[in-house]
Amino acid sequence: MRKSKATDRKRPMKILHIIPSVSLVYGGPSQMVVGLCGALASLGNTVTIVTTNSNGDRGQAALDVPLGIPIHQDGYEIIYFDCAPFKRYKFSIQLFKWLWHHANDYDIAHIHALFSPVSSIAATIARTKNLPYVLRPLGTLDPADLAKKNLAKQIYAQLLEKANLAGAGAVHFTSDQEAKISERFGTTTTDWVIPLGVQLPEPNQSPESLRSQYNIASDRPIILYMSRIEPKKGFDLLIPALAKLIQDTDFHFILAGANPQDPDYAQQIQTQVETTIGSDRLTCTGFVSGSLKRDLLTLADLFVLPSYYENFGIAVAEAMSAHLPVVISDQVHIHSDITKSNSGWVCQCTIESLTETLKTALNSDQNIREIKGQNAAHFANTTYSWPAIAPEVIFKYKTLVDPLR
């Protein structure tokens, strides 16, 4: 006898997450699936991630992980498959075979990224197997992102992604702005706006110790950039703004980031910043994670990210959770959260606006920055928190799954 719907609603779910890669090479948005799955599993659900061992597109060695077998961690399991035969495009025949045979073992699939063969074919398989699925675009439907390789993406969309969007139970956007501007290719979608969560370790070093290590004067305010070093982050705005700022404002700039996909560009930016403000006002750390990331966030007085487009802005949320006020552009799609919570300052994507906003922030009373930092932490810990987000995700999943039971 089939259980009643009331009983079905109470039983744990079997949830499948599919993502082309969780390598740190691809940045925070890929890593976020790990935090989400841990939170979903903590609620008593069975959660599986399937992904590839892809670890970059510039000849990097694949991730050194067991292939094709479940690895148990943080309450969920992750299964890696060899990225073959087309490593550059994150294609995995073994993953597709596994999904074809196991799709019906799950209640729902959450598929991350579009315009990637793993995601696109996974959605097609899910639809064929009548497995409800949710798509998270990761900013790939942003017109600014679609403008890159526009013709190829338009063809790809007509061949695969239009049907995938139309067949999705929902599309998971991470901000209202992302949902508002994203392309649907003529389809009508059910939109979920659910933010991402962040979780930082405890600090390991004191600010005084780090200032001494990096030779930063005790009374010099610190501006921190901590994100991937790539053109969309607005370095053509930030570097001229720092050049203007240095003329009459004292500060030290920490550049914490890298770009494994384009290390030449990252080195070029580092050189430009050093030439602009001088080596005595600059610390370059490269990519940071773990306790050092938290230590730098605790050390800084101000976080800056003048991006041309960010569908969410994980680095911003991390800064906020560490009590750090932020200066971001109005193209970081959570900018309205910053304004609403009084957690920092929002500028336009111009050199003049960024310069004046940084100057205002640095010249403001320290108490004002501290209040904004406290506001930031409160907002992040209640809104960008996996324990707060996971129950909402489960509720949303069940709106798709329960009618089918």
pLDDT in tens, 305-344: 999 999 999 999 999 999 999 999 999 999 999 999 999 9
pLDDT in tens, 358-400: 999 999 999 999 999 999 999 999 999 999 999 999 999 999 9
Residue 50's nearest CA partner among 157, 131, 166, 153 is 131
Q: What is the DSSP string of 108-137?
A: EEEEE-SSSHHHHHHHHHHHHTT--EEEE-
Identify whether 38 is part of a domain. Answer: yes
Residues 283, 375, single domain; the answer is: yes
Domain span including residue 379? 207-383
191-193 and 222-226 strand pairing: unpaired
Q: Exposed, middle or buried, 98 (CB in 10 Å: 0-12/13-18/19+)?
A: middle
Residues 228, 301, single domain; the answer is: yes
Residues 371, 391, single domain; the answer is: no
Residues 192, 211, single domain; the answer is: no
What is the arrangement of strands in the sheet containing 344-347, beginning at the earlier edge strand? 282-284, 252-256, 222-226, 302-305, 326-329, 344-347
Residues 309, 337, single domain; the answer is: yes
pLDDT in tens, 275-311: 999 999 999 999 998 899 999 999 999 999 999 999 9
pTM: 0.91
- Domain tally, the chain: 2
> What is the per-residue pLDDT for 122?
97
> What is the per-residue pLDDT for 17?
98
Alpha carbon distance 61, 67 (integer Å): 15
Cα 386 to the center of its chain, rounded Å: 13
Tokens of 272: 């430009």
Q: At 215, is the pLDDT very low, low, confident or very high (cuts 50, 70, 90)?
A: very high
